[in-house]
């Protein structure tokens, strides 16, 4: 044999190699074919009492026992993921020869399974879920079957990688989970944990529930009301901690302002009378069927701010998300406003009352 002699085609690996490799015990029909396993051989391996099993259409578990939770998750993703076929004609799926780091196109875990992966203690453990929700684009031609329940969306969110798996962000996963729940207690516990566990802000949850048209369900509305109240309490606590941790002067907390003998100017979460600087938490959240109320609330915010600033009072609006993700930056904004007070004309005299 010289250098110009063509090499013989590579022999497929023996089937026992696939079965014994714990990294690759869930494969698609296309991946098996890339190993030289014909459809007839695959069918023979999956015969009753055989060493393999077909878990979902075109997806095989290469052992006879019950699949693990991890195997079910990978199987659902393999079933729903879009195959990208490069110019060589080989589907671009996880390579059974390489590291087990699949790239799943246009598919991600959502619903209760996603919340469990995000660490929610109020979500059921994975083995107890009969079906795993999988989020795909609306136009994908897939059907729910076996342990895979297809959830469609007009616009896929950017997935978050959790233990190497693409998982829907918490607000979207919550909406998909709540869509299938009728237990008011279970809905309330999930929404509460989302905020208490600092997974996301109430406004982002309400936005997704609104988009999913779930805010017409009474048990969801009740849970959202509790969520918003709890979210405001948590934001107030963060604001209090920010003042302490970053050494800001002590304000007066939760006050109403009035002109002497005049009208009510509005409530504030924190106020520094000597510097005439105010902080208000923006905890608005969109509500289905309440667009006019939302617009009216925003107009009220704007009117109050304009009125206070005409009186020489600087108003700083802070969202709960900014308090959570950029507390130091928000403290710097307030500190700058306090330091700049000496360069401004004195503010009008106002009466400060407890709220």
pLDDT in tens, 126-150: 999 999 999 999 999 899 999 999 9
Mean pLDDT of 181-195: 95
| Cα→Cα distances 5→1, 2, 8, 11, Å | 6, 5, 9, 18
Mean pLDDT of 183-209: 92
Percent of the chain predicted with pLDDT > 70: 83
Instruction: Describe the chain by its helix, strand, coil percentages, rounded to 5.
Output: 40, 15, 40
Q: 266-291, pLDDT tens digit by residue?
A: 899 999 999 999 999 987 766 544 54
Confidence of residue 348 (pLDDT cuts 50, 70, 90): confident
Q: Which of 59, 76, 105 is the last residue of a domain?
A: 105
Smallest CA-to-CA distance from 247 within 331, 182, 352, 151 is with 331
Non-local CB neighbours of 64 within 8 Å, separated by 6+ positions: 49, 50, 51, 52, 53
pLDDT value of residue 320? 87
Mean pLDDT of 286-311: 69
User: Are both 124 and 101 inside the same structural domain?
Assistant: no
Q: Which of 105, 120, 154 is the last residue of a domain?
A: 105
| Measured distance CA(154)–CA(152) in Å, rounded | 7
Q: In the beta sheet, which residues pair with residue 108?
A: 135
212 within some domain: yes
- In order, the DSSP letters of 233-247 are HHHHHHHHHHHHHTT
User: Are both 163 and 201 inside the same structural domain?
Assistant: yes
Q: Which of 105, 122, 156 is the last residue of a domain?
A: 105
Question: What's the pTM?
Answer: 0.78
* Boundaries of domain holding 31: 12-105
Q: Are 142 and 80 in contact (CB under 8 A)?
A: yes
Higher-pLDDT residue of 68, 297: 68
| Mean pLDDT across the chain | 86
**350, two tokens:** 């106002």
Q: 226-260, pLDDT tens digit by residue?
A: 998 888 999 999 999 999 999 999 999 999 999 99
């Amino acid at each position: 044999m010289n250098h110009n002699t063509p090499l013989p085609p590579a022999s497929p690996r023996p089937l026992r190699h696939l079965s014994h490799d714990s990294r690759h015990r869930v494969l698609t029909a296309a991946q098996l074919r890339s190993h030289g396993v014909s459809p007839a051989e695959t069918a023979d391996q999956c015969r009753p009492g055989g060493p393999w099993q077909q878990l979902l259409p075109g997806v095989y578990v290469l052992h006879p026992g019950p699949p693990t939770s991890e195997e079910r998750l990978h199987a659902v993703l393999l079933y729903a993921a879009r195959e990208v076929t490069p110019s060589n004609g080989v589907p671009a799926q996880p390579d059974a020869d390489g590291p087990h780091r699949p790239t799943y196109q246009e598919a991600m875990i959502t619903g209760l399974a996603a919340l469990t992966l995000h660490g929610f203690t109020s979500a059921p453990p994975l083995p107890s879920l009969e079906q795993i929700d999988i989020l795909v684009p609306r136009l994908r031609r897939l059907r729910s079957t076996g342990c895979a329940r297809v959830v469609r969306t007009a616009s896929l969110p950017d997935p978050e990688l959790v233990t190497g798996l693409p998982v829907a962000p918490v607000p979207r996963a919550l909406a998909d989970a709540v869509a299938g729940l009728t237990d008011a207690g279970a809905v309330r516990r999930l929404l509460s944990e989302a905020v208490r566990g600092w997974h996301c802000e109430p406004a982002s949850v309400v936005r997704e529930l609104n988009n999913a048209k779930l805010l017409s369900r009474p048990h969801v509305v009740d849970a959202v009301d509790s969520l918003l109240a709890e979210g405001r309490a948590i934001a107030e606590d963060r604001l209090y901690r920010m003042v302490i941790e970053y050494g800001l002067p002590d304000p007066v907390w939760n006050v109403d302002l009035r002109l002497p003998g005049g009208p009510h100017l509005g409530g504030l979460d924190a106020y520094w009378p000597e510097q005439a600087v105010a902080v208000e938490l923006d905890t608005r959240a969109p509500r289905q069927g309440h667009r006019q109320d939302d617009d009216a609330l925003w107009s009220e915010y704007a009117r109050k701010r304009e009125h206070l600033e005409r009186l020489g009072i600087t108003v700083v609006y802070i969202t709960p998300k900014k308090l959570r993700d950029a507390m130091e930056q928000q403290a710097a904004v307030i500190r700058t406003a306090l330091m700049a007070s000496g360069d401004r004309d004195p503010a009008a005299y106002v009466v400060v009352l407890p709220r």
